[in-house]
Amino acid sequence: MMHRREFISDATWLAAGVALGAAGAGRVLAEEKKPMPRDGVAAGIPMPLQVVIDDVGWWSGEDGSERQEPYRTGIDRRHVPADYRAIVELGRALGIRPQAATVLCEWDTENLLRALPESTWMGAEWDNSRWRGPWLEEAADVIRQNEAHYELTIHGLGHEHWTNGRYTRAEWADENGRMRPREQVEAHLDAFEAILAQHHLGGLPRSFVPTAFRHGFGRTEGRAVSMAELLAQRGVTYVNTPFGSMANADDVQRGVFGLDSGVMTVDRGDDLLDWDVIGQVPSGALTGPTCGLHWPNLLHPDPERNSEIVAGWVALLAPYDDRTDTMLAPDSLSFQHQLAHHVCTSTTVSGNSIELDFRETDSLPTPTGRGTLTLKVRGASALDFTSDAVGIATTASRRAGDEVLYTLRLERRPGLERARVRFAPTPA
């Protein structure tokens, strides 16, 4: 397990630029390669980190891929409501809202997926009676009661795509990332919403993770619209998927994220653990803005011991919030705004002020980045901050060795494309 102290001593501007630059981090990190001037001040817009957990929603844990059933989560036990509580526990401990990318076929109490034979291994004979039981309401209650620390994200119905009892990858796009026919995609999104309604879990979510990471950026062969455009029409603003397996990845405009019909599409990069690893305390370092995992990675073979694994993730992730170059996003919407600022908004320290330039952020074809942002400042001594161009909503500070680290939550004022934050030594 990593110790918090090691992270702090490693988090120099230089180390930060090297460790995260390769992940396509914005030019702010390049500026940070400059060491802080003696007795000076350094400032940057930290890269937000968002936790995304795939394949939540299965009740069976069985990897059924050998017999033309879904991979599911590939573990030797069924899932239980405690597995949903593990997600909430992670969110509460870190003050974040993890995304649960959810598969819903085993929540279908009305067998409505009979009408979509390509969506499950049983086709038109779909029968989910095996998974009707009190655990559904118990888990739904966990999700509904803990909205602040649980974000339901669209993943899929059956995860793959079946033809005559045999599957291909995957539900929303084929092996090459080419979108499935539009009518099918629309029908699957309708069904996702309908199954959520069976359990009073709200309308269609605003975020999406493609199953098996098969996805195309923009339009794919023979399709008049892109997946993102269909999602945007239903209020989705954000897609998270690894760019390594995404069709048209070369068209991404901003390195770690691209805009596809106004939908922010973010690179997931590589996960720290394999998809079916369970009961292992995680280790390693994140290299980009997404902390991607699969549901078993957060769990223990004995559900009563899930907390031991959750604690491991808390220990791994918490230090990123203390670093000057990273932060934990409180939720996926803040994540989108902060990522836009991290990549597009420039900061310059000059004299007794920090200059922020929002022009590039405001040129994005989406409202992302018009609201609030987080700025981190390192000072050789205690500082006070003022601005007449942005609201300074909250300020947190923490001493690290001889330095003081500040976290400033800034609220933009409409129409101002630049802002100045002044600093002055705190009067003794």
Q: What is the contact surface with Zn ion in residues (CB under 5 A)? A: 54-55, 211
**273 or 318: whose CB is closer to Zn ion?**
273
Contacts of 9 (CB under 8 A, 6+ apart): none
CA angle, 202 then 206 then 185, to 5°: 95
- Please, what is the Cα angle at 264 between 189 and 7, to 5 degrees? 120
Given the complex with Zn ion, which of 211 and 290 has the nearer CB atom? 211
CA-based nearest residue to 173, from 162, 181, 165, 163 = 181
Is residue 346 classed as helix, strand or coil in its secondary structure?
strand
Neighbours of 398 (CB within 10 A): 11
Shortest Å, Cβ 55 to Zn ion: 4
Question: CB-based contacts of 91: which residues, under 8 Å, 6+ apart?
Answer: 97, 98, 146, 148, 149, 150
Residue 34 to residue 17: CA distance in whole angstroms: 9
Min CB(192)–Zn ion separation in Å = 14
Shortest reach from residue 239's CB to Zn ion, in Å: 14
Taking the CB of residue 131, how many other CB atoms lie within 10 A of it? 17
Q: What is the rounded distance in angstroms from the CA atom of residue 164 to the CA atom of residue 166?
A: 6
Q: Please report how close the Cβ of residue 294 comes to Zn ion at its closest, in angstroms.
A: 7
- Closer of 52 and 419 to Zn ion (Cβ): 52
Burial string for 360-395 (b: 16+ CB within 10 Å, else e) reads: bbbebeeebbeebbbbbbbbbeebebebeebeeeee
Cα–Cα distance for residue pair 388/391, rounded to 1 Å: 7
As a whole number of angstroms, the distance between CA 405 and CA 383 comes to 10
Q: How far is the CB of 209 from Zn ion (least distance, A)?
A: 7
Pick 298 or 356: Cβ nearer Zn ion: 298
Q: Tell me whether residue 55 or residue 106 sits nearer to Zn ion (CB atom).
A: 55
* Nearest residue (CB) to Zn ion, 54 versus 276: 54
Cβ distance to Zn ion smaller for residue 100 or 263? 100
Q: Minimum distance from CB of 231 to Zn ion (Å)?
A: 17
Separation between Cα atoms, residue 301 and residue 319, nearest integer Å: 27
What would the two tokens of residue 41 be? 């001040």
Q: Using the minimum distance from each CB to Zn ion, give the nearer residue, 211 or 346.
A: 211
**Cis peptide bond prior to 170, omega within 30° of 0:** yes
Q: Rounded to the nearest whole angstrom, what is the least distance from the CB of residue 176 to Zn ion in the complex?
A: 18
Q: Helices then strands (H, E): number in the chain?
A: 10, 21
Q: Quick one: 171 or 331, whose CB is closer to Zn ion?
A: 171
CB of 137 to Zn ion, least distance (A): 24
Shorter beta-carbon distance to Zn ion: residue 55 or 276: 55
Question: Is residue 423 a contact partner of residue 41, using CB atoms and an 8 Å limit?
Answer: yes
Residue 396 sits at φ, ψ, to 5 deg, of: -115, 150
Q: Least distance from C-beta 9 to Zn ion, angstroms?
A: 37
- CB of 211 vs Zn ion, minimal distance in Å: 5
